[in-house]
């Protein structure tokens, strides 16, 4: 079930689209996608961007570059109908659609390649060429032909050192002397981006630093755009982009029941609680909820509401402020004591325990709504898709965290499950109407179960 719908009898539309992928993580997919989006937006083109897979951080950069919210596309988590519906809505008002891939092109189940093939969207491969020359051509050949029928646009060499280096890389793809831009594009060579730290996007343990945390975020995007402007890809005008126009089909309308009609849902949103899918906000509103926002970091009390959603984020970076948030804690305790629902996921769950031990070893007292402790780890504790088989059907999502809960935590009432069966699922803890888990839910995968989580009128 998806809240993004369109009329069934609408005609198919064609729109240029690229899926920006790579042979592995860390090759520069986000930098290229965001830089390209910024470059085209500066030229007056209407760009809509998406992120393949469950990710909260890269979409912030893509949203800054395009000026529009960024949805995630995952064939399993969303379901293909939801993916197609979100793209259909985007192409109604877009000149170009850009989809940033996830991990390596063929990594994961489903992979970025699966998405490209399901939607017939050409792949632009971004490859870190800083330590290779002729082998670059072999890698391009492998990415392009590993799976028969993969739609292909070409390759962009990233972190190139010099003109001579660029010439060797181009020859490995095209052969012969340098041609004009269109000949190069026809051969699959979309250009080279020089090694340049000025536009680099900084990282931390969960991924990229949020764009909103950097005063020079737009300047970084402009630097990335400038680096792409002189490439064959960057020189294409609107007509040139039509070579990658693909058809988008209208989805079948699936109305969302108004199970939260008249309910007020308070959502924590600040520097510590910022992992919020725009699609989740959209789903809550489609269910009829009115949303109000508050900041635990600023010690704002929970607003007058029927239910509370504590989304994920970086509570470990703001632990002292959360420990001092007495008004917020007291109002949340009163909310739970009154029997009103709370859904807390991952970082939104961590302050609910008695204490949080940081990676430095320092323990910070937390809010104590759940017994037990949370400890940060130096290595990733869990990663992957998850499904929760709720009393109202399967709610899909994912898990990604660097902390663990101590054995003194309450016994889990529910558990999520991996669709691949390779690892245990996440515990779901319950205290009265409070439910908490490391599980990040994609609300659109089951609006009825979402309404149940937040106390809606579910029959």
User: Which is catalytic among the residues 15, 305, 328, 346?
Assistant: 346
Dihedral Cα 417, 419, 423, 428, nearest 10 deg: -20
Dist. CA 137–CA 174, nearest whole Å: 9
From edge to edge, which strands make up the β-sheet containing 373-376? 363-365, 355-357, 373-376, 403-405
Dihedral Cα 26, 113, 421, 53, nearest 10 deg: 60
346 is an active site residue: yes
What one-character DSSP code corresponds to residue 431?
E
Query: For residue 162, what are the contacts with CB-CB under 8 A and spacing of at least 6?
Result: none
Query: For residue 43, what are the contacts with CB-CB under 8 A and spacing of at least 6?
Result: none
Contact call for residues 359 and 421 (beta carbons, < 8 A): no
Q: How many CB atoms lie within 10 A of CB 393?
A: 13
Dist. CA 401–CA 143, nearest whole Å: 30
Catalytic residues: 346
């Amino acid at each position: 079930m998806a809240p993004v719908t369109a009329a069934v009898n609408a005609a198919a539309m064609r729109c240029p689209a690229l899926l920006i992928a790579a042979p592995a993580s860390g090759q520069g997919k986000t930098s290229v996608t965001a830089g390209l989006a910024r470059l085209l937006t500066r030229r007056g083109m209407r760009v809509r961007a998406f992120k393949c897979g469950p990710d909260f951080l890269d979409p912030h950069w893509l949203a800054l570059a395009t000026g529009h919210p960024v949805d995630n596309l995952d064939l399993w988590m969303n379901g293909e109908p939801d993916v197609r519906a979100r793209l259909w809505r985007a192409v109604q008002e877009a000149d170009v659609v850009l989809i940033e891939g996830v991990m390596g092109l063929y990594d994961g189940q489903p992979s970025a390649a699966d998405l490209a093939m399901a939607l017939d969207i050409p792949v632009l491969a971004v490859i870190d060429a800083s330590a290779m020359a002729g082998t670059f051509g072999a890698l391009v050949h492998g990415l392009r032909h590993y799976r028969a029928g993969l739609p292909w646009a070409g390759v962009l060499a990233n972190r190139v050192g010099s003109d001579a280096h660029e010439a060797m890389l181009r020859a490995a793809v095209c052969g012969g002397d340098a041609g004009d831009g269109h000949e190069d594009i026809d051969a699959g060579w979309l250009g080279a981006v020089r090694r340049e730290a000025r536009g680099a996007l900084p990282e931390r343990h969960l991924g990229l630093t949020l764009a909103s945390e950097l005063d020079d975020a737009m300047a970084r995007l402009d630097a990335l755009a400038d680096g792409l402007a002189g490439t064959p890809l960057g020189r294409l005008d609107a007509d040139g982009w039509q070579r990658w126009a693909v058809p988008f089909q209208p989805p079948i309308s699936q109305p969302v029941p108004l199970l939260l009609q008249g309910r007020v849902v308070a959502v924590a949103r600040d520097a510590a609680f910022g992992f919020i899918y725009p699609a989740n906000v959209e789903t809550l509103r489609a269910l009829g909820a009115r949303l109000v926002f508050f900041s635990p970091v600023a010690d704002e009390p929970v607003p007058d509401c029927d239910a509370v959603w504590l989304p994920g984020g970086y509570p470990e970076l703001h632990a002292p402020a959360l420990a001092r948030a007495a008004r917020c804690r007291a109002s949340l305790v009163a909310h739970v004591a009154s029997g009103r629902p709370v859904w807390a996921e991952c970082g939104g769950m961590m302050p609910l325990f008695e204490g949080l031990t940081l990676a430095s070893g320092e323990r910070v007292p937390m809010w104590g709504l759940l017994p037990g402790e949370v400890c940060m780890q130096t290595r990733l504790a869990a990663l992957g898709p998850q499904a929760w088989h709720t009393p109202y059907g399967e709610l899909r999502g994912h898990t990604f965290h660097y902390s663990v809960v101590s054995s003194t935590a309450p016994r889990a009432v529910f558990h999520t499950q991996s669709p691949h069966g390779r690892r245990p699922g996440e515990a779901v803890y319950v205290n009265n109407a409070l439910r908490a888990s490391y599980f990040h839910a994609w609300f659109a995968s089951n609006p009825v179960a979402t309404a149940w989580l937040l106390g809606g009128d579910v029959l």
